[in-house]
Amino acid sequence: MFLIGMAMAHRGADLKVGGTISLRLRRAAPSILRNPAGDCFLRQSEVIYPTSGKSIVKFQLISPAWRLVLGLYLVTGGAGFIGSHIMEEIVRRGEYVRVLDNLSTGSKDNLSSVLDKVDFHEGDIRDPATLRRVFAGVDYVIHLAALSSVVRSIEDPVSTTEVNLMGTLQVLLAARDTQVKRVVMAATGAAYGDSAILPLVETLKPTPLSPYALMKLTGEYYGQIFHRLYGVEFVALRRPTPLPWTRPLKTSHHG
């Protein structure tokens, strides 16, 4: 709650080491404030007690500049084509963002314009230990990491199931355990199969025709169940293939 209150007063403010900010608080403040990763970055330097009854606490920045934000975003698959564009937009808005990507199909080159402004972690969504680390302090998750190829899923349904379904399940478990506020998942229009009805709408009955479509749809159902059972706020976006087709070859199977 401290970070939220501070962010509301100083949203998007970049501080230099040694600089100070003042917060008007109703209750006692800790002597040290930490960012979501657990790093110490603000130290209490002075407390003033005016007649209003609210204390004014001054904090001094004691570690490299930290962008004060309303929320911490995690983008899985953030080094892919769509993910990198989302990262750029979050950074443009002045928010703080963390990215998780195993670089099996994504590339750091896609993040060249923002790499120095994001918290990059190389790792796999199927690894619970990795997820526990990168989910620390996260408010919102944009889940894009996937093997996004119908053809590949037909040739290798096992890998598609492991990444697109079991990986999504691990993401949902981590979101539940760390009390993430919302998970937004990139689903797929392939869930509708070869529907002759256009335009596609959410009320159409899903008819997946490939392991890729089936695993993505099952991931949606998992998200709905996690919302009902555990209160995890979940949104699935059934997006079509982005056009024009401008993805580099290395990201052709990635979110």
Which sequence positions are flagged as catalytic? Answer: 212
234-239 β-sheet, strand order: 119-122, 96-101, 72-76, 140-143, 182-188, 234-239
| Interatomic CA distance for residues 90 and 12, integer angstroms | 12
| Interatomic CA distance for residues 50 and 235, integer angstroms | 46
Which amino acid belongs to residue 208?
P
**C-alpha torsion angle, residues 137, 139, 140, 146 (rounded to 10):** 20
- The C-alpha angle 124, 127, 130, rounded to 5 degrees, equals 80
Three-state SS at 186 = strand
